[in-house]
Amino acid sequence: MKILLSSDWHLGKFLYREKLLSKQAEFFQGEFLSCLKDLKPDLLIVAGDILDRPIPDQETLYFYEDFLKELSTYKIPSFFILGNHDSRRTAYHSYFLEQAQIYLIDHLKYFFTPFSLKDNRGEEVNFYFLPYLPLYELLEKARAFLSFEIPESITYTTLLETLFKEIPFKRPAFIVTHFALDQFQSCGEEISIKGFSEDYLLPEAMFQSFDIACLGHLHRPQMKKEKFIYPGAPMPYSFETFIEERGVRFIEWRDNRIIRNEFMALTSPYELLTLKGTFAQIEKQPKTNAYTKIILEDEKPIFNVYERLKALFPNLLYLEYTYSSNFSKEDKVEVNFSLEAIDLDEKALFKEFYALVEGKEIEPKLWEVFLKNLEEFYNLEKKEVSLCQ
């Protein structure tokens, strides 16, 4: 049985203020689907964090729907579980999508009764899908299937241990879930599950009885004992880890063991570049369209620095001074105010903001520039929408 593993797509993600959706659309409809077409797996698994936000914006939903529609034409059974970034909205209309062999799993039905799939050679694998759900919700959903004593202080560990005892172990047993296991590396892109429960890191030993654990949550691709597999986020989502390879994992299971296990690197539709140095040094760097993060090591602030750097690095997303805390008082621009009327529209809000910062009404010429930029922004937004329609 050939299985393509992926996780942590984070559709609709922003990198600082840059919305990555159009790049993600390019990547998933191009690079990802052509990989799927070439490999022709018996099934596709996406182990959580499909969408970046529990309340996704409209453009993201347009694209998501479009993508699933296209995926359905491949006739490859595809299983998506919820991650900690997802919500019930990720699995909306799941009943109808199942008719197209696309399973958006936000429940425990395929955990208490594994989803058994046979390949064309007649080889069967049992998949246990355990989506990420907040602890209280997981408990509530589990109660629909079982009645069991709740340990005094309920944690993921105690609850999962109880659940694992209750499931029928049909071998080979593959579990698909979305948790961080101890001894594995996070890369700073993940939002910790900490805060939802005492134990956001689960012991690897808990999953020992399964033949394979297909995992999501950690964005760095990693694997242990050919058994615990994090395919990782297929696209780079942070400057710090850009140089590391991203992609999907392809495994083939035959006669009760893995006979092929390959990480397939995929090409990102963008580059992430971090530059560190003084303004004079950075100014000499070649012009690039990469998304850029700049850390300035100048001792004094540079006049008009953002605009000057933006001319060289049009996709400058982040700028900071290393020594800004040493700048003298005169160097600092301190803005101290509170905006009370937060429900103003953009135009009124900007007028108010300008008056607060500059202490005067905005000049007509400047107002014109603002309106022009605002219009451009709206046009761009419209383009994003039409991309997904």
Residue 82 CA: distances (Å) to CA of 2, 106, 158, 385: 22, 6, 21, 25
In the complex, minimum distance from the CB of residue 201 to Mn ion, in angstroms, rounded to a whole number: 15
Residue number, 42 or 189, with CB nearest to Mn ion: 189
If we measure between CA atoms, which residue out of 242, 218, 232 comes closest to residue 293?
A: 242
Residues engaged in binding Mn ion (CB under 5 A): 8, 49
In the complex, minimum distance from the CB of residue 132 to Mn ion, in angstroms, rounded to a whole number: 10
Paired with 249 in beta bridges are 5, 263
Residue number, 31 or 49, with CB nearest to Mn ion: 49
CA distance 322 to 282: 14
Residue number, 8 or 106, with CB nearest to Mn ion: 8
Residue whose C-beta lies closest to Mn ion: 49
Residue number, 41 or 231, with CB nearest to Mn ion: 231
Non-local CB neighbours of 324 within 8 Å, separated by 6+ positions: 301
Secondary structure string (H, E, C) spanning 110-163: HHHCCEEEECCCCCEEEEEEECCCCHHHHHHHHHCCCCCCCCCCCCHHHHHHHH
Paired with 201 in beta bridges are 180
H/E element holding 64?
A: helix 58-72
Residue number, 114 or 221, with CB nearest to Mn ion: 221
In the complex, minimum distance from the CB of residue 11 to Mn ion, in angstroms, rounded to a whole number: 11
Residue 364 CA: distances (Å) to CA of 251, 314, 346: 63, 27, 17
In the complex, minimum distance from the CB of residue 140 to Mn ion, in angstroms, rounded to a whole number: 24
Residue number, 168 or 188, with CB nearest to Mn ion: 188
> What is the separation, in whole angstroms, between the first and last Cα of the chain?
35
In the complex, minimum distance from the CB of residue 255 to Mn ion, in angstroms, rounded to a whole number: 34
In the complex, minimum distance from the CB of residue 6 to Mn ion, in angstroms, rounded to a whole number: 12
